[in-house]
């Protein structure tokens, strides 16, 4: 039987191991959990890094090992002036929606700058922004995050793949494909019904929408030997204990190539669509929120369903919800999952009985 000293699966002990010792440990994990070891790799992002392994499960899902740690999570904005948190460019973006007539194109650039300056001096406006930060970010505290095997990418919900044979036999779908080809489209979707789309090799695929509840999703995940991350686990996976709003700092860098920002040069890969310091692809997309589960129930992390962006609030307000610590105070989680916005990530909790 394979054995692992559980202490070595936590930092700082894990970080202090030699590469050869890490490889031996990671190989043992593969044997214990019946996973195919794909590769060893050091993942780097935002001046943080982790040497770990990529695995594949029997059902074709890729996982990475994430060491445990005792970390501070959440943010405390009390007695911190906005000027000490954000730079001038981000502050201007934050107060801009409070400027009277900001949506009107008739305002000159000089008028806008004047109104922004006035807004920054308005105590009521600053107080509103401070209240938003206080009420929509999780409270600061110290937490023990246990070691995990974590799905590298998030999975969509509600959409069920359809076999090629079924797609070929369905005359209605074939007619939809023909019309799409004539129009030069690569995707056709009937809301919450069916989605036809072209793959990279120009073949057409199909998936249909199945109404799914949170409880049904969780039960299916458990039946297959997995779990959903908790809220605090997800914060660790997305930020590794960062003490700033984002893993890279408190401010949006306007040279970033961000999704849904039409005024940016969106050629090529998006800046945030990369593996992070654990080798995980976090959505970092305000539209894509991940489902997490604690004893008190289900909640979301990583987005607000595009509320701020669709509300025309700009890039900073639009991207605050991708912070590891954002928690939408107005979000109500019902019974049914929204397949257009709700995603999930499987985790395997590493047991203490491996001592």
Residues of the chain with pLDDT below 70 are 1-2, 100-107, 262-268, 352-355
Of 14, 50, 73, nearest to 244 by C-alpha is: 73
Question: Which pLDDT score is estimated for 202?
Answer: 79
Question: Which pLDDT score is estimated for 101?
Answer: 60
Structure tokens at 9: 């699966």
Cα 49 from Cα 300, distance rounded (Å)? 26
Question: Which pLDDT score is estimated for 353?
Answer: 47
Is the pTM for the entire model greater than 0.85? yes
Question: Which pLDDT score is estimated for 1?
Answer: 42
In the numeric block, the tokens 């004047």 are attached to 114
Architecture of the CATH domain 6-74+143-157+211-354? Alpha-Beta Complex (3.90)
User: What are the domain boundaries of the chain?
Assistant: 6-74+143-157+211-354, 82-132, 159-209
Q: Is the peptide bond before 305 cis (omega within 30 degrees of 0)?
A: no
In the numeric block, the tokens 């401070």 are attached to 130
In the numeric block, the tokens 């959505």 are attached to 283
**327 contacts 137 by C-beta, under 8 angstroms:** yes
Q: pLDDT tens digit string along 151-174?
A: 999 999 999 999 989 999 999 999
Question: Which pLDDT score is estimated for 250?
Answer: 97
């Amino acid at each position: 039987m394979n054995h692992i000293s559980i202490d070595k699966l936590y930092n700082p002990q894990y970080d202090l191991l030699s590469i050869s010792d890490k490889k031996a440990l990671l190989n043992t994990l593969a044997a214990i959990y019946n996973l195919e070891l794909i590769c060893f790799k050091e993942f780097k992002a935002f001046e943080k890094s982790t040497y770990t392994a990529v695995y594949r499960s029997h059902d074709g899902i890729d996982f990475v090992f994430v060491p445990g740690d005792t970390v501070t999570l959440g943010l405390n904005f009390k007695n911190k002036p906005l000027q000490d948190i954000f730079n001038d460019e981000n502050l201007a973006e934050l107060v801009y929606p409070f400027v009277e007539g900001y949506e009107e194109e008739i305002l000159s650039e000089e008028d806008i700058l004047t109104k922004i300056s006035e807004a920054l001096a308005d105590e009521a406006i600053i107080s509103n922004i401070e209240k938003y930060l206080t009420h929509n970010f999780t409270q600061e505290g110290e937490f023990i995050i246990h070691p995990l095997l974590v799905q590298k990418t998030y999975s969509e919900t509600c959409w069920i793949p359809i076999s090629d044979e079924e797609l070929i036999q369905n005359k209605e779908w074939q007619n939809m494909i023909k019309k799409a080809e004539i129009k030069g489209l690569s995707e056709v979707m009937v809301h919450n019904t069916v989605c036809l789309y072209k793959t990279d090799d120009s073949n057409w695929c199909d998936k249909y929408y199945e109404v799914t509840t949170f409880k049904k999703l969780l039960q299916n995940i458990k039946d297959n030997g997995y779990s959903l991350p908790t809220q605090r686990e997800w914060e660790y996976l997305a930020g590794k204990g960062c003490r700033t709003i984002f893993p890279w700092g408190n401010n949006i860098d306007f040279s970033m190539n961000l999704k849904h920002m039409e005024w940016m040069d969106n050629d090529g890969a998006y800046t945030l669509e990369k593996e992070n310091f654990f080798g995980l692809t976090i959505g970092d997309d305000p539209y894509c929120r991940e489902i997490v589960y604690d004893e008190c129930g289900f909640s979301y992390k990583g987005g607000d369903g595009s509320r701020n962006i669709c509300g025309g609030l700009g890039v900073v307000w639009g991207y605050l919800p991708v912070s590891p610590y954002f928690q939408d105070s107005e979000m109500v989680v019902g019974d049914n999952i929204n397949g257009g916005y709700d995603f999930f990530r499987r985790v395997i909790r590493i047991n203490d009985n491996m001592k």
